[in-house]
A and B are shown apart, each in its own frame.
Chain A
Amino acid sequence: MLSQESLRQINKEIAKYPPGRKQSAIMSALRIAQTEKGWLPKEVIEFVADYLDMPPMAAYEVATFYNMYDLEPVGRHKLTVCTNLPCALSGGVHVAEYLKRRLGIGFNETTPDGKFTLKEGECMGACGDAPVLLHNNHRMCGFMSMDKIDRLLSELENQ
């Protein structure tokens, strides 16, 4: 179900916790699984639960509780725009509007070619770099001007 590399990374996470506390690695394991698969189908969540000796429902609870897990397919590039107050005061809402226009989609939608998904995010703890957006959960992009958005989109377009 998961690659050897993903399993190696999960094992590394398991080793951080005391014996018998494998469940503590569920958040990382789901992150690693999602990075490999692009999103988290039920079978993957069940596999990860089984790997950590925990009930599938407990893993599913975690996957549905934390908002960076994707329980439905997303585009190759997921862009999450912060529109919370500090970002909004610096133009975060305009960034979101501009992205919607450029991509021709709304929040929680994916472009027909499957390349981009747009999400609205909550505070990412980087308000000094506002407005900020997150690319595929792991890359933070700050001070987003129209110009920088254009450059980011053409960079991702070619990936």
Chain B
Amino acid sequence: MSARALILAGIGADADRTWRLQDYVARGGYDTLRKIVAEKTPPEAIIAELKTSGLRGRGGAGFPTGLKWSFMPRAFPGDKYLVCNSDEGEPGTFKDRDILRYNPHAVIEGMLIGAWVMGCTRGYNYIHGEIFQVYLRFEEALEEARAAGLLGQNILGSDFSFELFAHHGYGAYVCGEETALLESLEGKKGQPRFKPPFPASYGLYGKPTTINNTETFASVPFVLKMGGEAFLGLGKPNNGGAKIFSISGHVNRPGNYELNLGTPFPELLEMAGGVRDGRKLKAVIPGGSSAPVLPADIIMDCTLDFDAIAKAGSMLGSGAVIVMDETACMVRALERLSYFYHEESCGQCTPCREGTGWLYRVVRRIEEGLGRSGDLDLLCSIAENISGRTICALGDAAAGPVRSFIKHFIDEFIYHIEYKKCLVPLAVQDLGSQINVNVSPT
């Protein structure tokens, strides 16, 4: 099976030269939009098709796209906004970057169709701060679309108008949370809002707004072109279509692989060249750093789709697959992730602001060989007290890895605490280790 099934199909070695409007059109791009505008396809028909397709949000939460689009009050007078979330900063995730640099017009076409369906007049694509070169390319793609009459007033000579702009972030993981992203778009600190009200009723500048992930928008033209049934058929029931999996860590060929949902995990691992240097697989985080880690024996039996991964006790999330082989110290891995959530907590809710720092400090002392006997219970209790007690999901995201790492790899944690040493020989670790720095060997 091809590892570039849909959005990345036809994009090969010269990917940096085939992103322009003419290339996208040659691949059949903007056909769907032209058809919709020419035939004046009713929004309800498009929503029905999306619902049939089983397309679920590709940003991490997996919410059904057709349902989300149906929440927008189309008849609401005045401005309505459409926002693309390209603030891709979940450790392990790097698919939206490739979509934006290799097929930016698919995102633009998907947003245009969204605007048509939901009656939006203006849209923004919020692009992750660290990928400035990709932001510049997307700006160029927007210029091409405007020059071709695909964006702006009276699109393709019709009475449909939609303005679309790129907004560049500048380094804040929390802005991937949709209401933090809206605050950021308004020129404020990116601190999440209370929900409800949801963005569909009170979004950007207080107006009805729909926010979808980059890959979700890019999927829409393909769904409508092949038809909802056919798209659903690529995957499995309730898990329609193909999805891009970003695989990183201890594999021979890290990168993006676009596969039908329901593909067995071992197939992805094989496409990525297998575990680095023929080593033994130890653990996999299947959906970005916020997804619970799964040990090798569980993940090797999983298929890659929302329901199967959830059943195994984790989540498909953004499709970011982080692979760790037998040389990875799980305590050190958790320490690095805990530091990340502590660093990126926006500081708004006390359980997250204080709890993420607390989690990090306790995991760090275990890693440094200074762990105490009650530390694992303490970690679980902190995690428990963060979960569900914050405005956004960042707190839960910080608690999830702590619980799952301890659950599946408790031996390593206990060994660190009892023997002040790592079970994994330090010489083979590439994560860096602190245990030999601070503690003399026993």
Contact A65 B189 (CB under 8 A): yes
Contact B165 A16 (CB under 8 A): yes
Number of A-B contacts (CB under 8 A): 171
Q: Does A149 contact B (CB under 8 A)?
A: no
| 1/0 contact string of B416-442 vs chain A (CB within 8 Å) | 000000000000001110000000000
Docked complex Cα distance between A91 and B276 (Å):
13
In the complex, 6 of the A-B residue pairs with CB atoms within 8 angstroms, ordered by the A residue number, are A66-B129, A66-B190, A85-B91, A122-B171, A126-B130, A137-B132
| 1/0 contact string of B171-194 vs chain A (CB within 8 Å) | 111000000000011111110000
How many interface residues does A have (CB within 8 Å)? 49
1-58 of chain A: CB within 8 A of chain B: 16-18, 21-28, 30-31, 52, 54, 58
| Residues in B lying within 8 Å of A, measured CB to CB | 79, 88-94, 96-97, 122, 124, 128-133, 165-173, 184-190, 205, 246-250, 254-256, 289, 320, 322-324, 328, 333, 336-337, 340, 343-344, 346, 430-432
Q: Does A75 contact B (CB under 8 A)?
A: no
Docked complex Cα distance between A138 and B135 (Å):
10
* A23-B186, A84-B91, A88-B431 given; A28·B254 CB < 8 A: no
Chain A residues, Cβ within 8 Å of B96: 125
In the complex, how many angstroms separate the beta carbon of B370 from the nearest chain A beta carbon? 20
Chain A residues, Cβ within 8 Å of B430: 88-91, 93-94
Docked complex Cα distance between A158 and B428 (Å):
36
* A18-B205, A93-B430, A138-B132 given; A27·B170 CB < 8 A: yes
* A16-B165, A27-B167, A128-B255 given; A85·B190 CB < 8 A: no
Top 6 nearest A-B pairs by Cβ distance?
A: A93-B432, A23-B187, A68-B171, A124-B130, A127-B248, A138-B132
Residue of A nearest to B172 (CB): A66
Residue of B nearest to A64 (CB): B189
Contact B188 A128 (CB under 8 A): no
Chain A residues, Cβ within 8 Å of B322: 85-86, 89, 127
Q: Does A110 contact B (CB under 8 A)?
A: no
Residue of B nearest to A26 (CB): B187
Contact B169 A66 (CB under 8 A): yes
Docked complex Cα distance between A30 and B189 (Å):
13
Chain B residues, Cβ within 8 Å of A52: 187
Partner of A30, one of B165, B170, B190, B248: B170
Residue of A nearest to B327 (CB): A89
Docked complex Cα distance between A140 and B134 (Å):
10
Docked complex Cα distance between A114 and B337 (Å):
32
In the complex, how many angstroms separate the beta carbon of A119 from the nearest chain B beta carbon? 11
Contact A125 B248 (CB under 8 A): no
Q: Does A154 contact B (CB under 8 A)?
A: no
Q: Does A123 contact B (CB under 8 A)?
A: yes
Residue of B nearest to A126 (CB): B94
In the complex, how many angstroms separate the beta carbon of B222 from the nearest chain A beta carbon? 22
Chain B residues, Cβ within 8 Å of A21: 186-187, 205
Contact A61 B189 (CB under 8 A): yes
Contact B171 A89 (CB under 8 A): no
Partner of A123, one of B91, B249, B255, B431: B91
Contact A90 B249 (CB under 8 A): yes
Chain B residues, Cβ within 8 Å of A123: 89-93, 173, 289, 340
Contact A85 B92 (CB under 8 A): yes
Residue of A nearest to B247 (CB): A128
Docked complex Cα distance between A85 and B285 (Å):
11
